[in-house]
Chains A and B, each alone.
Chain A
Amino acid sequence: MARFAVRRLFSCIALLFAISILTFLIFEAIPNGNPALRLAGRTATQAQIDAIERTWGFNKPIYVQYYRTMEKIFSGTVISYTQQLNVENQIVQDLPPTLSLAIGAGIIWFFFGVVFGVLAAVRAGRWLDRVLTVLSLIGVSTPVFFLGAILSFYLGYKAGIFPNGDYVNITTNPIQWAYHMILPWCALSAVFVGVYSRVLRSTILDMNNDDFVRTARAKGLSERQVMVRHVLRNSLIPIVSLWGLDFASVIGGGAILTESVFNLQGVGQYAAQSVERLDVPPVLVITMFGAFFVVLLGAIVDIVHAWIDPRVRLSA
């Protein structure tokens, strides 16, 4: 177990290093032409361009530039181009709405994904299964920003049942916080409920033919006991690993669209605003930390998975 954990963490560190290089290359090496020319504007003289090259270090070899960028990111001194604000302070300040969104939506999509998946599997081939299949396909096919806009227009603006976007801090008023978050949670969950219920349904149906399920039925357990104690317990393992990864990617910037359509000032909204201004440093930092978060949580999920299910660590 310890050996598995150590090996998994080592490969994870190598991956983090590769991510930092790739993210750097995406922003520094792919764009065509001299970055100093773009920063200096249209009417710059050669002397100004040279000065910018020197201050930003564009004339240095690429590995020096990489080292300097990483040094800035890890010492927390990255400054955005347009607002001239510290990027990392801004991210920390924007974390609460993102965490609220991800945690609430994560609970909702896990719960409904499992409930719908089990119902569809138990009633496989009947009308309830068909209705749930159609619903989950619609969920998978609807972009979250469209769903969010429609929900906040019809339920928020027209019917006045829910508030129209905005974020209330959980410490100032927990009830208002939850009330304001209901629509964003639902909009973000829709896709995942669709995916999870379909994955769970097919896992359960595959498992129904396994030997241990037949044994459980043969020794006289009721269908309900077979489902809850034997089938569901085993089918949930892939769902839980999937949940870990999706949850990480939502926190690491996957909620950009939801935050921006509901006007929640979170990390995703910050990224969206920076994209609009073509402000490279915040996008670079958020992309890198987003991928870091996915990799780290993925490693933790794998280790927990191996701890629960010994087959994983023996085969790897």
Chain B
Amino acid sequence: MDDPPIQADGLEAFPPGYGDLPPGLTPDLPPGLTPDLPPGIGPYKLAWRRLRRNHVSLAFGGLFLLIVILCLLAPVYAADIAHTGPNDENLAGTVALGGKQVYIVSLIGIPIGPTWHSQYFLGADELGRDVAVRLLYGGRTSLFIGAVATLITMLLATILGTIAGYMRGILDGFLSRFFELLWAYPPLLLGIALGVSLQVGGLDLGLFTIQGSSLLVPAMIIGVVYIPYVAKPIRAQVLTLREREFIDAARQQGLGPVRIMAGEILPNLASTIIVFVPLILANAILLEAGLSYLGAGVQPPNPSWGTMISEGITLIPAAIHLTLIPGLMLVLCVLGINVFGDGVRDALDPRGQVKVGR
């Protein structure tokens, strides 16, 4: 070992050899590791170990994954099991139940409930469409919008939050006011305002035009609405990060602001970003359902869980299954994301963990 380094307060560090194992007690280590350094475990490996022990969280994460896989398999289910499409109406048809032919939609307009058979497994809606098929296709829509919205939010919020926090000055003032401004609107109100406005006229982004009925419209609306909820905490974290020594070191080496933000600050934001993803995904799916329920989100006849609940509520005393089935699916999906997200947060940010025994 070299000479003992002098610490900042002028005191000598521990003398060489201090803390070493007594001679003859060398631990058995695999080749390649020096005995004076313990084998290192990265923060993400530690987080993964903590998450792996959290069985409840993993189970709910699995539930969410199962729902995603089922929804992705919707065309297979529609073609090979139910033999009908998500928008195929069947008002006059019958289905064999217990040896009898039963009308899918009764003469007074009440659709059949769950048959628990391959056809109309979860019943039919008022136009004789298969609820199970629509449920899976609706899940694709809801999950697609949720995923695109989350992507938009995280991308824009990370970029804008990092720029605001690192650049400070006028740019920060401008961006922070912008976050304040979006934050002032209740999310649902901003969502319906943008939804109504875009339905009226579609969107012209210069390079490409998006029709008012496109699924990208609700996805973009929801993505924009949640920006401040992520950008504000990221900006606050960047504000403290930029004062740290390693950023100073990078600046002394002559790195430009873009290199520092992308190469030095962004990796340190990773755990915050990971924690926010499930939170925003859950809220985006809920907001999509709310907007579609009000008619400012996904436009019929496209199924989404929100539009299905909205159509079901109008038939409520007669056919509760039309509300109950998509609603329960939505709750299970969001619950899965939330519980799994909680586990991820506890694993990445252990200070928030339950302090048992207090």
Contact = CB atoms under 8 A, between A and B. Distances in A.
A280 B200 contact: yes
Interface residues of A, number: 55
Given A30-B197, A287-B190, A290-B189, A22 B181 contact: yes
B295 A124 contact: no
A146 interface: yes
Contacts of B289: 143, 145-146
Contact of B294 (A32, A257, A287, A295): A257
Contacts, number: 163
A286 B186 CA distance: 11
Contact of A30 (B186, B203, B209): B203
B195 interface: yes
Interface in A98-142: 124-125, 129, 137-138, 140-142
B136 interface: no
Interface string A255-290: 011001100000000011001101010011011001
B317 interface: yes
B320 A295 contact: no
B184 A294 contact: yes
Interface stretch (B22-30, B263-271, B329-337): B329-337
B59 to A, nearest CB: 12
B348 interface: no
Interface string A198-226: 00001001001100000000000000000
Contacts of A275: 192, 195-196, 294-296
A249 B186 contact: yes
A15 interface: yes
A35 B355 CA distance: 59
Nearest to A201: B354
A286 B294 CA distance: 15
Nearest to B185: A291
B139 to A, nearest CB: 15
Contact of A15 (B184, B186, B201, B317): B184
Given A15-B180, A31-B198, A286 B189 contact: yes
Contacts of A294: 184-186
A283 B177 contact: no
A141 B356 contact: no
Given A32-B209, A125-B357, A280-B196, A18 B181 contact: yes
Is chain A's interface secondary structure helix, strand, loop, or mixed overall? helix
Given A33-B201, A141-B338, A146 B184 contact: no
Interface string B345-357: 0000000101111
Contacts of B356: 124-125
A16 to B, nearest CB: 9
Contacts of B204: 32
Contacts of B309: 143, 145-146, 149
A278 B195 CA distance: 10
Contacts of B331: 138, 141-143, 146
B166 interface: no
Main secondary structure, interface of B, reads helix
A272 B195 CA distance: 12
A19 interface: yes
B338 A140 contact: yes
Given A137-B335, A142-B331, A145-B290, A278 B196 contact: yes
Interface in A146-172: 146, 149-150, 153, 157
Nearest to B182: A22
A97 interface: no
B330 A146 contact: yes
A254 interface: yes
Contacts of B189: 252-254, 256, 271, 286-287, 290-291
A277 B186 CA distance: 21
B149 to A, nearest CB: 16
A23 interface: yes
Contacts of B200: 31, 38, 278, 280
A287 B193 contact: yes
A256 B354 contact: no
Contacts of B286: 141, 143
B45 interface: no
Contacts of B294: 256-257, 260, 272, 275-276
11 contacts: A23-B193, A27-B193, A33-B201, A35-B201, A143-B331, A145-B313, A149-B327, A150-B323, A256-B189, A280-B196, A283-B196
Interface of B: 177, 180-181, 184-186, 188-190, 192-204, 209, 282, 286, 289-290, 293-296, 309-310, 312-313, 316-317, 320, 323-324, 327, 330-331, 334-335, 338-339, 342, 352, 354-358
- Counting from the closest, the 7 A-B pairs by CB-CB distance are A31-B201, A146-B327, A249-B186, A125-B356, A141-B334, A32-B201, A141-B335
Given A254-B188, A256-B188, 15 more contacts: A15-B180, A15-B184, A27-B196, A31-B197, A124-B358, A137-B335, A141-B331, A142-B331, A143-B290, A145-B290, A153-B316, A153-B320, A205-B355, A209-B355, A294-B186
Interface of A: 15, 18-19, 22-23, 26-27, 30-33, 35, 38, 124-125, 129, 137-138, 140-143, 145-146, 149-150, 153, 157, 202, 205, 208-209, 249, 252-254, 256-257, 260-261, 271-272, 275-276, 278, 280, 283-284, 286-287, 290-291, 294-295, 298
